[in-house]
Structure 1
Amino acid sequence: MTELLPLNNSHLPVKLRLEDYLRLDDAGAFEEYRKTELIDGEIFFVNAQHRPHAVIKSRLHVALAAAMDVHGQGWEAIVEGSIAIPPHNSPEPDIAVTSEPEGKGLMPLDSIKLIIEVSDATLAFDTKRKLAMYARNGVPEYWVVDVNARVIHQMWAPEGETYREHRELAFGQAVSAATIISLTIDTAAIG
């Protein structure tokens, strides 16, 4: 006997899975958009980066890479590398610290120690939607560099859709990673 289900009168969104997103990307579906991210099953176009954003990201990467060289624990800072966070996410953060920089495909989530987003026009998205996604998926530490307010929001200890620990540091202050022992970055040169 066939069970009758009630008629659905409302629109139900469908979340795109990571593997489907990658298939579409391989087929060239996003070529006209240049860069996209998959966040919670939705595809987002990534804006062009204007100079304040690009300069701060570049300088922060240089400072972080120099500190990582001194630190010497096998971590590497990657700029704009996509991360696989199944089943519905493939963000492309400004900087990601990973233990697996080499290889094919997306960086695996379990290799990620720190994610940094530089925000000039995307602060609300980075501090709400992306923060919830990163915390929910166990990213150990997350920094949002607020270009306009000239502060770094440093978060760690993910719990649910937030981080239990948080501090705010002004540009020019040293930032010590909470999850990578003895990693400190001087931010005086970032802007």
Structure 2
Amino acid sequence: MTIFQNVRKGLIPARLTVAEVYALTAAGVLAEGDNFELIEGEIVPMPAAKHNYHEAMKSALTRAIILGTDAGTALFVEPSVTLSETTLVEPDLAVWPRGIGTQDVRGPELLILIEVAVSSIAYDLKVKAPLYAAAGVRDYWVVDAVRRTIRVHRTPENGRYADVEEYEAHDGVAALLLPGVKIRLDAID
């Protein structure tokens, strides 16, 4: 039985906290492979299957970031990131200082968060961007895997980003907090 069937049957409350999600997972009620995010207490299903463009772009970005980071940082692919007591998201890529546990990292500690979009661009821009800004994430990128653009969000203020720029595939985009990471979409595998 999936989490969504359990919610519909009333076995799991419709609104949860991040702590309850971790407790339900530890108890085996939620499976680690369940694809969902917790957005302000509500379970939001995420697609289990990803498009080829999405996976190819995520793989190329992973390689480029690994090559540009040092031993003091850790790159995570689809980690669970706590933004608030009631919001748990799974960005495609996240980098934060080594030594901070996945359940302990918070917005200001994140060095970069990247969402790769094929069909989720509206969700990543309209739902996730304000959540990331409110949590204090200083460098948030939405990479459109089809159009091959990067929309960079910086300077979080009052639940929104004051600085948003879009870059084309031929533009080099440097990570704000990772001096060795510069991405040019037309130059990565």
CA distance, structure 1, for counterparts of residue 126 and residue 174 of structure 2: 23
Compared with structure 1, are the counterparts of its residues 101 and 118 closer, same or farther at alpha carbon in structure 2 (3 Å cutoff)? farther
CA distance, structure 1, for counterparts of residue 14 and residue 35 of structure 2: 22
Contact 2:149–2:185 (Cα < 8 Å) also in 1: no
TM-score, normalised with respect to structure 2: 0.82
Question: Counterpart of 1:38?
Answer: 38
Contact 1:30–1:36 (Cα < 8 Å) also in 2: no
Question: Counterpart of 2:116?
Answer: 118
Letter in 2 for 1:40: E
Give the total of aligned pairs. 175
CA distance, structure 2, for counterparts of residue 106 and residue 123 of structure 1: 26
- CA-to-aligned-CA distance 1:112-162 (integer Å, 9 cap, x gap): 111000011111110011111000010111000112222100111101221
Residue 61, structure 1, aligned to residue 62, structure 2: yes
Indicate the structure (1 or 2) with the bigger Cα radius of gyration.
Answer: 1
Contact 1:67–1:185 (Cα < 8 Å) also in 2: no
Compared with structure 1, are the counterparts of its residues 101 and 153 closer, same or farther at alpha carbon in structure 2 (3 Å cutoff)? farther
CA distance, structure 2, for counterparts of residue 32 and residue 187 of structure 1: 32
Letter in 2 for 1:57: K
Question: Counterpart of 2:10?
Answer: none
SS at match of 1:85: strand
CA distance, structure 1, for counterparts of residue 136 and residue 15 of structure 2: 20
Contact 2:68–2:180 (Cα < 8 Å) also in 1: no
Letter in 2 for 1:131: A
Question: Counterpart of 2:147?
Answer: 149
TM superposition shift of 1:29: 3.3
Question: Counterpart of 2:184?
Answer: 186
Contact 1:78–1:101 (Cα < 8 Å) also in 2: no
Root mean square deviation, CA, Å: 2.3
Contact 2:77–2:92 (Cα < 8 Å) also in 1: yes
SS at match of 1:129: helix
Q: How does 1:25-174 map to 2 (within 5 A)?
A: 25-31=25-31, 34-47=34-47, 48-69=49-70, 74-100=72-98, 103=101, 105-109=102-106, 110-174=108-172
Letter in 2 for 1:35: N
- CA-to-aligned-CA distance 1:150-181 (integer Å, 9 cap, x gap): 21001111012211111111123211113334
- Further displaced range: 58-67 or 78-87: 78-87
What 5-or-longer segments of structure 1 have no aligned partner? 1-12
Contact 2:53–2:146 (Cα < 8 Å) also in 1: no
CA distance, structure 2, for counterparts of residue 179 and residue 166 of structure 1: 16
Percent identity (aligned): 33
Compared with structure 1, are the counterparts of its residues 163 and 42 closer, same or farther at alpha carbon in structure 2 (3 Å cutoff)? same
CA distance, structure 1, for counterparts of residue 32 and residue 142 of structure 2: 28
SS at match of 1:98: strand
- Further displaced range: 122-131 or 75-84: 75-84
- CA-to-aligned-CA distance 1:46-93 (integer Å, 9 cap, x gap): 212121100100101101110114xx6x22221111112231111111
